[in-house]
Amino acid sequence: MNIKGKIAVITGASSGLGAAIARALVAKECRVYGLARNTEKLEQIKNEIGENFIPVVIDIANKDLLDTWIQKTFHEDHLPDILINNAGAGYFTKIDALTFDRWHEMINTNLNGTFYCTSLLVPFMKKNKNTCHILNIGSILGKTTRAEGAAYSATKYAIQGFSESLFKELRSYKIKVTCVNPGSIDTHFFQESGIHAHSNMLQPYDIAIVITQLIETPDNLLVDEITLRPLQAQAPMQ
């Protein structure tokens, strides 16, 4: 796909990986709807990268608000080309210390939000004459797991299965689906998550470049899954 002039929806665009992907796509003259809950952070990104970044203050776990926004934004003459399901929450703790609220937050954001965005946008993508692309941000913890990550891994293993089924369903509609599974990334994710950062994490910008390249692959070439890892994951903190 030639990204110039295309329309993208990125969830979780107010920080970390989502913001980095928004910057990379806007640099390629893509029009990006950046969804997140924090108005101030979204506005800061718009001030930084310009009018092609359109902040959309929304909680993706709220299916009614999402439905209203999508139906009023997209129509025959304004169809989405790219959806990046990136918004996510992660808390890591012993199962008997994980609150029900945190369980629900992870399920509602990582899983329900991804389903709502995808199921509501796919009808518009099916009307699009261009090849479209959905990229789901999974995790290395959706392929292998660790102790005290049961809830988070449950959502990311689910994203893996969701993505694989979806690519088989949507390829005949010229809609690509890719599951991107990063290892640890240097973002705010670690601040509340309960796991420790290390000194050699993946950089959001570097992953954003890989995602851009995945979107730019020839129309008949589909990467259904990709895993990205730092080279020295356990390097000591400096």
153 binds ligand NAP (CB under 6 A): no
Question: Which residue from 5, 27, 29, 38 is in contact with ligand NAP, where contact means CB under 6 A?
Answer: 38
Question: Which residue's structure tokens are 């959309």?
Answer: 56
Residue 173 bears catalytic tag: no
State the DSSP H helix or E strand holding residue 36, giving kind and residue range, or none if neither: strand 31-36
Near ligand NAP in 62-91, by CB under 6 A:
86-90
Contact 112, 61 (CB under 8 A): yes
Burial 190-221 (b: 16+ CB within 10 A, else e): beebbbeebebbbebeebbebbbebbeeeeee
Q: Which residue among 60, 83, 117, 214 contacts ligand NAP (CB under 6 A)?
A: 60
The residue from 187, 208, 215, 230 that contacts ligand NAP (CB under 6 A) is 187
| C-alpha span between 41 and 51 (Å, rounded) | 15
Closest CA to 28 of 225, 216, 237, 178: 216
Least distance in angstroms from the C-beta of 165 to ligand NAP: 19
Q: How far is the CB of 187 from ligand NAP (least distance, A)?
A: 3
The contact pattern for ligand NAP, residues 102-141, with x = CB under 6 A and - = no contact, is -------x---x-----------------------x-x--
Given 6, 7, 10, 16, the residue binding ligand NAP (CB under 6 A) = 16
Q: Which of 1, 6, 8, 11 binds ligand NAP (CB under 6 A)?
A: 11
> What is the rounded CA–CA span in Å between residue 119 and residue 15?
24
Beta strands in 125-211 (DSSP E): 132-137, 175-182
Contact positions vs ligand NAP (CB under 6 A)? 11-12, 14-18, 35-38, 41, 59-61, 86-90, 109, 113, 137, 139, 182, 184-185, 187-189
Active-site positions?
Answer: 152
